[in-house]
Structure 1
């Protein structure tokens, strides 16, 4: 299964995704790790464009206002 990169500070989301069988990696913000199918960000940083340039055509999911379950549903859309 492809990995999901999760921004620091989203521990409940990270733990829920792992419980659902997702391979979760920490988002470093420097270079995209191979095999990552989506990136989950806190949404508190309004400069999403800067993040998207790092991600290179990988969907960016803002966790702002979403439960861990909601984030997982969005991630599933990109995994399948």
Structure 2
């Protein structure tokens, strides 16, 4: 089962992903994002400097402006592309 990290403020997305059968964990800080298959973030803390030396291997989905259903589809697409 894929493990999906979702920012703690995105409770509607957490619920929608759980309904689809994903193992969902809350991300409150970067350390929470280790060993995840995908991360869903608000995008409010985007990297404005363009520095991309992150140690995360998970796909990142920015939920800003998307519905819970759209985010679920994005997660499924990212996971299918990895497999």
Q: Please identify runs of 4+ aligned residues in structure 1 that moved more than 3 A.
A: 48-52
Structure of greater relative contact order (alpha carbons < 8 Å, 6+ residues apart): 1
TM-score (norm 1): 0.81
Q: Is the 8 A contact 1:37 1:78 kept in 2?
A: no
Contiguous gaps of at least 5 residues in structure 2 = none
Residue 21 of structure 2 aligns to a residue whose secondary structure is coil
Contact 1:6 1:26 survives alignment (8 Å): yes
Structure 1, 24-33 or 57-66: larger mean CA deviation? 24-33
1:26 aligns with 2:9: no
Per the normalisation by structure 2, the TM-score is 0.79
Classify the secondary structure of the residue corresponding to 1:60.
strand
Number of residue pairs matched by the alignment: 78
| Structure possessing the higher radius of gyration over alpha carbons | 2
